[in-house]
Amino acid sequence: MGGIDWGSYAPRLLDGALRTLSFAAVSFLGANLLGIVVALARQSRWLMLRGVACTYTEIIKNTPILTGLFIVYFGLTSANIVLSAFAAGCLNLSLFYAAYIAEIYRGSLVSVGRGQYEGAQAVGLSTAKTLRFIVLPQAAQVALPGLGTMLVDMLKATALLVTISGAELMTIGQAITSETFRALEVYLVLGAIYFAMCFPLSQATAKLERALSSGTPITFRRRRTYRQIVAKLGSDVEQGVRRASTGDWG
- What pLDDT shows up at residue 248? 54
Residues lower than pLDDT 50 in the chain: 1, 220-226, 229-230, 233-234, 236-238, 240-247, 249
Q: Count CA atoms within 13 Å of residue 148 on its CB side.
A: 18
What is the model's pTM? 0.80
- What pLDDT shows up at residue 216? 57
- What pLDDT shows up at residue 119? 77
